[in-house]
Amino acid sequence: MSENSIVIGVDLDGVCADFYGRMRQIAAEWFERPVYELPEEVSWGLSEWGITTQSQYDSLHRFAVTQRELFSSMEVIPGARKYLRLLSDEGFRIRIITHRLFIHYFHAAAVQQTVNWLDSHGIPYWDLCFMKEKSQVGADIYIEDSPGNVEQLRNKGLFTICFGNSTNRHIEAPRANSWQEVYDTVKAFAG
């Protein structure tokens, strides 16, 4: 496979953008608790912060996006910009795939914040896809942190690198705990 034909499907939250770090700050405000009381190490669903229902999560998420501009205020995960630029410069096609439109009635804010964040942080991409079924975008390599998405993509026979965090420690290799490891794994796959 030549590098010029390889499409890399890259998730944003937890892979390029520090979703958990920013959401922790917003959740502390939402729950009116000191941020140090909310653990940094969380599981999928954020139950460690006291979120026990989908409705609670949806309310917090809506507040985070509409009142605190979550998607434009997250820090970049170290190395994401550097290694995505390297891969892009080497001829790989970067396709951002995110499922940020899962709560109705504020899609315009979510899309605008996403584009602003990508552009202001210099993240290279050819395509930007907002969709739940990530396997449908036709990437050759996926970089994902959601345990469910990793398993779903792999079950369809798609090469998926699990970007490591506290929500997915149980997911087996291929894994990457840094963007340097992502880069090395992508280069090894491309041969």
The catalytic residue positions are: 11, 13
Q: How far apart are CA 141 and CA 143, in angstroms?
A: 7
Residue 148 amino acid letter: G
The whole-angstrom distance between residue 96's C-alpha and the CA centroid of its chain comes to 9
28: CB partners within 8 A, 6+ apart: 34, 35, 37, 38
Sign of CA dihedral 77, 112, 71, 7: negative
CA atoms within 13 A on the CB side of 17: 26
Three-state DSSP at 138 gives coil
